[in-house]
Structure 1
């Protein structure tokens, strides 16, 4: 019965949407009606309102919908949604202030003389507007009003002209900053958490082990990462559009002829191009650059974009008047002043200590006032000239409200879909498909593409993604990243603007196109561009590095980058070390020989022994790494024969787990049937359980007889590789750590020598103290111990001083013992002072060369942060997908 009400839910939603009922009310309305109908039928026909729900009851799922609804606004983790109205404001302001119009006209004049040049200019401007506005409707309407008449007047093919304009207008959906990317990031962050839990459960059920290694965890994503991930795919799509137009113009020059510029390409034209292009490009750089550089969050970047658009509108609306550029110039000088102050002054108001600090605060205050004046002045102009600001604010409010209301409605719809077991049904369907992850992925992409014919991108993002994303992310068959999945879905649902019958870009263009342009020509024009979008989808699917590399690069080069010892980086770090050892193995071996030739007799016995072991462990670590890599190759070779058997058996075990879960549900229902009148129902359920148990027995018989032996053998190979990796890590630690610690001790020798005066001063106070004032030395001892503790390699001296302090602070102070322990500390200090001096002169230079030779290979895990070369290598390595299913 649950499936019946799930079908009713889907039909209600389809009818509501098809009849033109507002989406914001169709989604929650159909959900509430379906839940209420299921509860009513359950009460009337089964005596239980919860009888026709997969689990739980109507109130549980209605409250779940309310909880989801509240989460959109009140979950701190979802504050990224604040960026949506900011980017919407930026886009509409740039469009209303005619900056988009200036771009189109100027670029058409620049590219016009090239065959297909008008089409190229439309794509180029579409990409720029996508990176500054992200509003499809505004972009398509603007380009349709300005470019379409020019293209038709110059004998461009109607289908090429309309297809180019409609497709270029949709670039705002994938080129950041994009509203759909923000929504997808919000949905995928929750999906990644669910997928992580599901993968841990799968690992436990498959292997019997309680905890899953962190290297197999599912990584989440953010709006910033989505922006970075979508950047290169967006450029790929732009390149495909331009290449197609150029090829079309070459093959059919009469359909896309060159358009000579009637003016002159002189200094005035160059200045015009510069003034038209530079402000939008600067705004793109500030918005995206601040996110990429880690200077600003997505919300802060949105505020930068909104402010920048307002400044640009302030001078564009007053173009041709005196002082038109004054607000912009004030803003530029203010920003330069702020950058200067931040670079050379301390602007922490709570830490003002010097006149320089006060000067910095004063300059910063003036700069902020100047920027505020520029924004207020520009806003006043936008308000007074054609009531532009009011119109932009109203449109921003409408568009933002539309987005958020759909988000809220989708939250209730998702709860209803789960109430009737829809999520479980989809999961079982996808997991039951042959072919593993990629079959599931292709099916999901195909469904999203088809839904794009009928639904808007927001509806697809908030309804479909929460259901399918956890399933795809949890699958270890490809171990995809959330950002790659988000960009792939973003590219896919971008086609929803072009696919009839509800392609919104087609409607926008139809509304502004002249009557001579037939609707059929518009539809014909977008077909090729839909194909190009699908081609871009295939390219990005085959080359995940296009998506994953930039987010990885920024993450690994940032100040908060994970250290090389992070377990999740083990695979790529070992790849890097292997390549470096192969390339520089001779130099490393020579460095070890040179280090062994160093006379380290002056060092204390323990330090000398540790250093000697370090030299020996380098060769041992390299050998163990080689053995581990060979073990990995043996696993890869064995996996060819083992994988089909593993896939077959895991599929059978998944079916068995499904049946056992069903049996568990029946057992729960049986335990509740205790009334004698329910005896028949109880017997029916018990009979069903017997049938299911028989099915389990039958499935267990289908497991190949050689499975246990094959699994044990493959596990032995994996265990051997794991043991070798761990042994290599221990050897590499023992190879680098002693030398690193020894050099740290030697490097602190100046600080060590500075302790002599403090030690002598405290010794003098101790000798002069009497029994009455001996306890007053306790704070003095503590301060001395702190200073000693801050110097590397002084633990023995610090221990002696601690014993002296305890003798002083005892209930019966023992001055004699305190003096004895202090003298011991002085003796240790003198001994260490002697060998430190010798080590600085005779040992340190050779050890530094040795440490530098092994630091980035054998000693990489002891580093606090990756070098740039290491970070770039790991970023590239981690950008590809890696099948880890044989570990499950």
Structure 2
């Protein structure tokens, strides 16, 4: 019976590769296998009676309410042309130096990630705004596309990240399940705020690595990262710099700072962020009915997609457990030499490979609930595991040929830029993210120090 669960997992991967809608594929495949197993006498259909309570739990989950609010905030900031002002200012500030435009793109990408938390929106925005300028100014196509894809994925790890919100909710439930199985139930669990705090230092390290690589290119390959002549533009003033940087930085500090300081929950901070984004849009003269309609349409589409996948994944994981898949994996992990270390390495490898074919939402909702309780039972730190998974999923965004950031950029890049150039450009940044993963594995304090300092 247990092997039916593994067959179901392989089947869902194949169905998703064929391009069918994720939410319906998850639910449909689970129901088909539940029906077959029930006819064979391997599955009790009464097991599905837990579905209503699961769905009610999803609908009444206050943490998940942060998802549409953060999506709304990101969409409003995208329409408010905040990125254009930031990029123009930073380009004038750093562009006169070799590699300065790449450094500007990295800083703007970091600020957008801390303001929106949406990977696709950041990659598309940066691709439309900065890529034509970088190519026109003589930047190497591979380097330019690589830095845009890499900085665009910072929204995956730098809080407030939607990926961390979803991951925090899933890990919280998995941690509670692991505690129940161990017989020492503890009402205290990990929160989205814990993950936000744990992601700050790794996110800043990644930004520092990207900037360091841009400086390295400027020294070793100066022809690929030429300086930009801004002599025909007026010199940037403190007032211009303040006008461009102050609004998004203020919003970022208010949203993230209120969560880390314990003044607000992620949902409450997301509400404040959404309202703050509307104020910034109004100040930029972009708050009108047309833009609001576009923003609300985008928010409804993204939120509906996330929750439909979550509902389908809940059914899938329920059937998977009913078929004994969780026990099979737990037995497999317990027999591995090296214990928790080997199990964690194997999980990281599997998530990395699944990132080639699955989006981070499917991996978060389908794979993480299966493996996380088992790792927690091996005494793995939940905050550290969450950040390791988040960085791993961020790496999968860049991995050719199926990295989603590559598809986003390919869709907006000029046709003269070959796809192979984009693939070559992201390879150094993939290695940087792997270096970060290794560093977090060797020094877990990079993740756990700040949450412990803030929350004790």
Q: TM-score range by the shorter chain?
A: over 0.9
Q: 1:35 and 2:34 equivalent?
A: yes
Q: Quote the Cα distance in structure 2 between the aligned partners of 1:293 and 1:10.
A: 41
* 2:92 match: 109
Q: 1:552 aligns with which of 445, 449, 452?
A: 452
Describe the superposition over 1:237-281 as per-residue Cα deviations: whole angstroms up to 9, x where unpaired.
111111111112211000111213225664x63321210011000
Q: Quote the Cα distance in structure 2 between the aligned partners of 1:66 and 1:543.
A: 42
Q: 2:323 aligns with which of 411, 417, 420?
A: 420
Q: 1:73 and 2:59 equivalent?
A: yes
Q: TM-score normalized by structure 1?
A: 0.50
Deviation at 1:110, TM superposition (A): 1.1
Q: Quote the Cα distance in structure 1 between the aligned partners of 2:18 and 2:333.
A: 31
Q: TM-score normalized by structure 2?
A: 0.96
Q: 1:496 and 2:396 equivalent?
A: yes
* 2:214 match: 245
Describe the superposition over 1:601-656 as per-residue Cα deviations: whole angstroms up to 9, x where unpaired.
xxxxxxxxxxxxxxxxxxxxxxxxxxxxxxxxxxxxxxxxxxxxxxxxxxxxxxxx
Q: 1:382 and 2:288 equivalent?
A: yes
Q: 1:410 and 2:321 equivalent?
A: no
Q: 1:309 aligns with which of 274, 277, 298?
A: 277
Deviation at 1:198, TM superposition (A): 3.4
* 1:352 match: none
Q: 1:530 and 2:436 equivalent?
A: no
Q: Quote the Cα distance in structure 1 between the aligned partners of 2:210 and 2:198.
A: 20
Q: 1:119 aligns with which of 80, 102, 107?
A: 102
* 1:137 match: 120
Tell me how many residue pairs correspond in the alignment.
456
Q: Does the C-alpha gap of structure 1 residues 306 and 63 become closer, same or farther in structure 2, counting only changes over 3 Å?
A: same
* 1:10 match: 9
* 1:276 match: 244
Decide which structure has the larger Cα Rg and report it. 1
* 2:357 match: 454
Deviation at 1:496, TM superposition (A): 2.3
Q: Does the C-alpha gap of structure 1 residues 539 and 219 become closer, same or farther in structure 2, counting only changes over 3 Å?
A: farther
* 1:187 match: 170
Q: 1:64 and 2:50 equivalent?
A: yes
Q: Does the C-alpha gap of structure 1 residues 219 and 439 become closer, same or farther in structure 2, counting only changes over 3 Å?
A: farther
Q: Quote the Cα distance in structure 1 between the aligned partners of 2:445 and 2:338.
A: 23
Q: Quote the Cα distance in structure 2 between the aligned partners of 1:65 and 1:59.
A: 10
SS at match of 2:380: coil
For the 8 Å contact 2:164–2:192, the answer to whether it is kept is yes
For the 8 Å contact 1:144–1:509, the answer to whether it is kept is yes
For the 8 Å contact 2:6–2:325, the answer to whether it is kept is no
* 2:130 match: 147
* 2:335 match: 432
For the 8 Å contact 1:106–1:276, the answer to whether it is kept is yes
Q: Quote the Cα distance in structure 2 between the aligned partners of 1:241 and 1:382.
A: 37
Q: Quote the Cα distance in structure 1 between the aligned partners of 2:119 and 2:172.
A: 25
Identify which of structures 1 and 2 has the higher relative contact order when contacts are C-alpha pairs closer than 8 Å and 6+ apart.
Answer: 2
4+ aligned runs moved over 6 Å, structure 1: none
Deviation at 1:534, TM superposition (A): 1.1
For the 8 Å contact 1:291–1:297, the answer to whether it is kept is yes
Q: Quote the Cα distance in structure 2 between the aligned partners of 1:262 and 1:171.
A: 32
Q: Quote the Cα distance in structure 2 between the aligned partners of 1:466 and 1:66.
A: 18
* 1:26 match: 25
What are the within-5 Å matches in structure 2 for residues 318-717 of structure 1?
Answer: 381-383=287-289, 387-475=290-378, 479-556=379-456
Deviation at 1:65, TM superposition (A): 3.6
Q: Quote the Cα distance in structure 2 between the aligned partners of 1:219 and 1:250.
A: 50
Q: 1:257 aligns with which of 205, 208, 226?
A: 226
Q: Quote the Cα distance in structure 1 between the aligned partners of 2:187 and 2:65.
A: 26
Q: Quote the Cα distance in structure 1 between the aligned partners of 2:26 and 2:171.
A: 20
Q: Quote the Cα distance in structure 2 between the aligned partners of 1:66 and 1:424.
A: 24
* 1:161 match: 144
Deviation at 1:108, TM superposition (A): 1.4
- List runs of 5+ in structure 2 lacking aligned partners: none
Q: Quote the Cα distance in structure 2 between the aligned partners of 1:543 and 1:528.
A: 22
* 2:80 match: 97
Q: 2:202 aligns with which of 233, 255, 263?
A: 233
Q: 1:175 and 2:158 equivalent?
A: yes
Describe the superposition over 1:202-232 as per-residue Cα deviations: whole angstroms up to 9, x where unpaired.
xxxxxxxxxx7x9xx7962101111111111
